[in-house]
Structure 1
Amino acid sequence: MAKKTDEQIDARVARMHRDYLHNVVTETKKQPTTIAKLLNISPSTLTRIYKPKDGQISKMSAGTLARLEEFSGLAAPSFEPEPQKQPADFREDATRYEADTSDTTMASMIQAIIGNKKNIDPWVIRSRSLECAGFMPGDVVLVDLSTTPRAGEPACAQVYNWRGGTAETVMRILEPPYLVAATFDPALRKPLLVDDDRVIVKGLILPHRLRPRPN
């Protein structure tokens, strides 16, 4: 039964990836082979997804999805078959900031800092992973997706669970080739190897630290 379930999940993920690639082709008006050349990847990486052979189940790696997302501007699909059964130790370092209508000052501050820049996203720190760097749980921080962090700088990254189809956002210090926490919490100290497949750095955490107004 478990094997059948895994096959069903694989087929569903493959279908999501195929639909996503079709959307990228439509949005960019470029064929898969052209896109592959622009991204410096093998054409077969995309053509086997775009037009799979009968009975073939093909998926894209997290790295390929990230490249397509950056190239097209279309959000890559994520698949969580049973989100309510996330492992107990699964926790993200940050979640996307959602504007609070009762705190218009915060939204105005964020907008003033971002201005017309399109590649800066606000996030809310949820863990102690960067407490020694001055970023505390509850802080709203800005991530510049157009800037690659240098050694010693705070970085926003994604850790992909490819089999489960999930992605965890982590906020760590980049110490190539690793991401490390700046924390007193021993549970967060295990370094993460940046391999551009399972672990992908998304951008630089800017120095701004904003605090929502107390309720």
Structure 2
Amino acid sequence: MKKKILIIEDEIDLIKVLKDTFEKENFQVFCAENGEEGIEKFYEKNPDLILLDINMPKKNGWEVCKEVREQSNIPIVMMTARDSEIDELKGLNIGADDYITKPFSLKVLVVKVKKILKIDENSSYKIGGIYFDFKSGELEIDGVEVELTRREIQFLEYVIKNKGIIFSREQLLNEVWGFDFEGDDRVVDTLVKRVRKKLRAYSEMVKTVRGMGYIFDEIKN
């Protein structure tokens, strides 16, 4: 499940940059251009974290932070052009979880957000339009969720975590089906076909190595 971020910011260009950045990191992003709209989106979208500017029309960041905190304990990161210890303390005192001063590094902000949300980079896999969550077994291809069986999840997790390594059918049987499996090793071929179909445009990443087995390879032919 994608984490949801609400950006409350009145600078249109910055909104676009932040939205693009976090969507590339596989977040679901909602935006508001003033404090009042931000409060509405907070109630409507139930985000996991809020990126909140201070100087905004209609309701400023302090007011938004205070109102949100009265209703929820979700993380709030305040963004401001001000560089004052007093402002930072004020934000933290009214319930903000962290504070970042403009101009800021997008990489630093992403790391900060992931740390607050306790997102483990090793708990999922993302490349191109593929997103696979090892914990939930959720697979998305180009933003579309794809349903997997338990065996398909086990297979994908194993080959992705061991990408670049060639596995024989026997090895895959042992790792995915278990050592006590007594069926035909051709079930591996059938499973691979199903997984390739579900990977759609990325099916060629599960490659056949003639006479040896299969490999998950990020390099396209």
Query: What's the TM-score once normalised by structure 1's chain length?
Result: 0.23
Higher relative contact order (CA 8 A, sep 6+): 1
Taking structure 2 as the reference length, the TM-score comes to: 0.23
